[in-house]
Amino acid sequence: MSETPKKASNEGFLWLLFSAGGVVAAILIPIQLFLFGLAFPLGWLPQPSYDHLVYLMSSPWVRLYLFVMCSLPLFHWAHRFRFTLYDGLQVKHLNEVIFAFCYGGALVGTVLAAYLLLSI
């Protein structure tokens, strides 16, 4: 019990991000991955035309939707994967490195998503 309570509080914040990301990932990703990853490439359903996508992307709501769909699930990944590495491989001594890799990755992905969606 050496760490300061401050650190403990941050865990709460990270856990909130993890949970919010978990909800978003559970509700939004299955249909999105099913359509773009399987149904369209395999020709089960007609691929939406580029113009239709342009039309959809012109809405700020769609872009906000895509931003949420990218950023929160990344923080979900960061949290879960951090613990999978700690526990699954018993590498808790690499604590700082893993922490930086996971949350750093999530931050970079979030910034990238914001950049792409703003410049479209």
Partner 1 sequence: MTEMSELNQAAHTEFHPRWYRKRLSTWWWLGEWHYLVFILRELSSLSVAWFVGLTLFQLRAFMRGPDSYGRFTDTLQSPIMIALNLIAFCFIMLHAITWFNLAPRAMPVRVGGKRVPEFLVAAPNYVLWIAVSAFVAWLLLRTS
Partner 2 sequence: MADKIVLEIARYAPERDDKPSFQSFEVPLRKEWVVLDALNYIKDKVDGTLTYRWSCRMGICGSCGMMVNGEPKLTCATFLTSYGNNATVRVEPLRYFPVIRDLVTALSDFLVKLQKVKPWLIHPNQPPLSAGEFLQTPEQLDLYKQFSMCINCTLCYAACPVVGLDQEFVGPAALALAQRYNLDNRDQGSAERLATLAHPDGIWGCTFVGECTRVCPKHVDPAGAIQQYKLTAALDWVKSFILPRGHKDAPQETAHD
Interface residue list for partner 1 (CB under 8 A): 21-23, 25-38, 40-42, 45-48, 50-53, 55-57, 62, 66, 69-70, 73-74, 76-77, 79-81, 83-84, 88-90, 105, 109, 112-113, 116-117, 119-120
User: Do 78 and 71 contact (CB within 8 A), yes or no?
Assistant: no
With CB under 5 to 8 Å by kind, the binding choice for 16 among partner 2, partner 1, none is: partner 2
Nearest Cα to Cα of residue 68 among 4, 120, 107, 114: 114
Q: How far is the CB of 119 from partner 2 (least distance, A)?
A: 32
Q: Which is nearer to partner 2, 32 or 95 (CB)?
A: 95
Q: How many residues does the chain have?
A: 120
- Hey, what are 12's tokens? 């709460």
Q: Which of residues 17-36 bind partner 2 (CB under 8 A)?
A: 19
Residues 6+ apart with CB under 8 A from 18: 75, 76, 78, 79, 80
Q: Please, is 102 exposed, middle or buried when counting C-beta atoms within 10 Å of its C-beta (0-12, 13-18, 19+)?
A: buried
Q: How far is the CB of 34 from partner 1 (least distance, A)?
A: 6
Rule CB under 8 A: say whether 96 interacts with partner 2: no
